[in-house]
Structure 1
Amino acid sequence: MTDYRDRLTDPLPGLGSVLRVLRSGGLRPKGEALADVPNLPVRRDGLPPIVDGQASVTWIGHATYVVRINGLTVLTDPVWSRKIPGVPARWTPPGVDWADLPSVDAVVISHNHYDHLDAPTIKRLPRDTAVFVPAGLARWFTKRGFTQVTELDWYEHATLAGLRLDFVPAHHWSRRTLTDTCRSLWGGWILDERVFFAGDTGYGRYFAEIGARYPDLDVALMPVGAYAPRWMMKPVHMDPSDAVLATGDLGARRMATMHWGTFGLTREPVLEPVVLARQAWAAAGRAPEDLWDLAVGESRVF
């Protein structure tokens, strides 16, 4: 079985790091960090109407977006479950009910962590749904009966009904069991050479590389949460200022936030990611209307 440890850009946390975070209070938010859970923004607008030549993104929560582009409906890292292993139940409901989705043409998966590859949600999909996954992950889907699974390495691409899907590098890692660390790859996706979905990633050199290869990105769907404590999370999770910097490296016109306000993964206060994202965007001199700091369930058409 292929091992992708050589793609790591930083060493994975060892036992010493785990013990340090446990001694300092653990990884999950507590007390005052949870005070604003009732104030997390949720809208139930449904999917917006679009016409030929338009695309739309709708934030479902965490790293899940509904992207409608080139007449197709694509889900990114779909998680509709109320709870995932090892994490308390979600704070906010999915932004669109599963029953209200149009027919799903494709699913893109960034990596195999439970908050990005959710087996109960995947089980709800028709088995002939086109699924695009990192190298080493196709077997997980074919074992579950999926018949149209495309596995890609970094900078490889595939097409579906005229839609181009490119798999690109990320500063992250993979593991789903105790014995499969880095046995499948991790990365982001570019749809139609216009929409960048980062998946899960730290900040690093790959963003500039990707921007040079794909110079016409309209919007970058960027993670801004799950970053504290910073000494531990920095190699694999961006904070809001990193996300703004990465968007600049990509040359993307707009940034849409994600990976916050859904699951209590790390210590930062629940509203802090979007507050800091707004501050970093303004400090970078970017146009306010080009920051799509969406509520759960909110959409943008472009």
Structure 2
Amino acid sequence: MKRRSLLTVASAATVMTLGGVGYAAHRRSRNPYYDGPKSENFDGLRFHSPEQGADKDLSEVIRWQLTRKGERWPTHVPSPFPADKPPERVDALRVVLIGHASYLVQVAGRNILIDPVFGKRASPLRFAGPKRVNPPGIAYADLPPIDAVLITHNHYDHLEGPTVARLWQDHQPTIVAPLGNDVILRGYDDSMMVETRNWGETVDLGGDLAVHLTPANHWSARGVNDRRMALWCAFVLTSVEGVHYHVGDTGLGDGAIFRAVAERFGPPNLATLPIGAYEPRWFMKPQHMNPEDAVTALGLLGAAQALGHHWGTFRLTDEGVERPAEALDAALDAAGLPRDRFLALRPGQVWMPT
């Protein structure tokens, strides 16, 4: 394949990873994932977020791809932290970034994976699309017994079907995902059992541990014709260790989704928030916070501690590989907050409350 063709395929895979090809979705008249009743966030065909603006159209996608002037990334960006070998169980709270938006959360004796992606690419294609520049911060073989897997939404950098199927076969975890994503996941293993819920609903994970689904300003797509046909979400974990709020992807919007979490659950002990994939702002702002937005969200939540993810592993957008961490420090300085209150995690980095 010629170089230009390879670049075109890679760019298309990147856009698909971000769900940016949804301009063609309006051709489909039936939802292949979910056929439930209409509700305040589902019109019978598509889901929508509290501040859902107009979908990007083809001309905007083409404009971004043809005018990209992003910083190049190195082929390899090794983490300064060695791959973690977590203990089998933790009585309190231990959080490790596997990479990008994938976490292992060990809390109250339970082991939870969030958006686990262990593959070499965040892409629907094996040969093109965003390729990881550092290995997972935990080797798959070093995972402890997994009790639950939480999926925030179906973009390829968050829902990697082969990995979830492997986890199901090896651990039989409780799998929790927003409405419609069970159909997608069972396409990788039809024996998989998935607990799907709407925003505002809860799954009891046992041992006084529960996970609650809350809104996010984002969308979903696995291909060119299924935009917003499966739901997306953020998660709130409640346990004897307090409140942990996790967002896979979201725009800041007017901040209402963050205020609502603080009002319902109280200020979180921990917030894990995305800080990358934000340039160019004219294209990314509705669905991806930048570090300044993330610091604003921290203030709205009143969280005691924040950890940043969604950066430094897969090049999805135009900012350089280190820019999110640098911009986060600058935003914290501007807000008069100590830098250790909001850490930009790197693969293999462990955080535990002091």
Same fold (TM over 0.5): yes
Per-residue CA shift, 1:56-98, capped at 9, x if unaligned?
Answer: 1100111001000111110110000011325231011100100
Runs of 4+ aligned structure 1 residues displaced above 4 Å come to: 37-40, 47-53
| Correspondent of 1:34 among 73, 84, 87 | 73
Per-residue CA shift, 1:95-139, capped at 9, x if unaligned?
Answer: 010000101110000100111001121121134321000011122
Asked whether the equivalents of residues 308 and 345 of structure 2 are also in contact (C-alpha less than 8 Å), the reply is yes
What percentage of residue pairs aligned between the two structures are identical?
35
Listed as ranges, the gaps of 5+ residues in structure 2 are: 1-34, 36-43
Classify 1:47/1:11 alpha carbon distance in 2 versus 1 (closer, same or farther; 3 Å). Answer: farther
Q: CA RMSD in A?
A: 2.0
Partner SS for 1:282? helix
The residue number in structure 2 matching 1:25 is 68
Give 1:196 deviation, angstroms.
1.1
**AA in 1 matched with 2:235:** W
* Structure 1 segment 1-302 matched on structure 2, within 5 A: 1=35, 2-7=44-49, 9-25=52-68, 29-30=70-71, 33-34=72-73, 38=76, 41-47=79-85, 53-85=91-123, 87-127=129-169, 128-143=172-187, 144-162=189-207, 163-192=209-238, 194-204=243-253, 205-302=256-353
Larger Rg: 2
**AA in 1 matched with 2:62:** L
Listed as ranges, the gaps of 5+ residues in structure 1 are: none
Partner SS for 1:91? coil
Please give the alpha-carbon distance, in whole angstroms, between the structure 1 residues aligned to 2:282 and 2:193. 40
Please give the alpha-carbon distance, in whole angstroms, between the structure 1 residues aligned to 2:336 and 2:81. 28
Please give the alpha-carbon distance, in whole angstroms, between the structure 2 residues aligned to 1:198 and 1:52. 23
Partner SS for 2:120? coil
Per-residue CA shift, 1:31-79, capped at 9, x if unaligned?
Answer: xx325x6555341152455986520110011100100011111011000
Partner SS for 1:126? helix
Please give the alpha-carbon distance, in whole angstroms, between the structure 2 residues aligned to 1:38 and 1:82. 12
Classify 1:20/1:117 alpha carbon distance in 2 versus 1 (closer, same or farther; 3 Å). Answer: same
Asked whether the equivalents of residues 40 and 261 of structure 1 are also in contact (C-alpha less than 8 Å), the reply is no
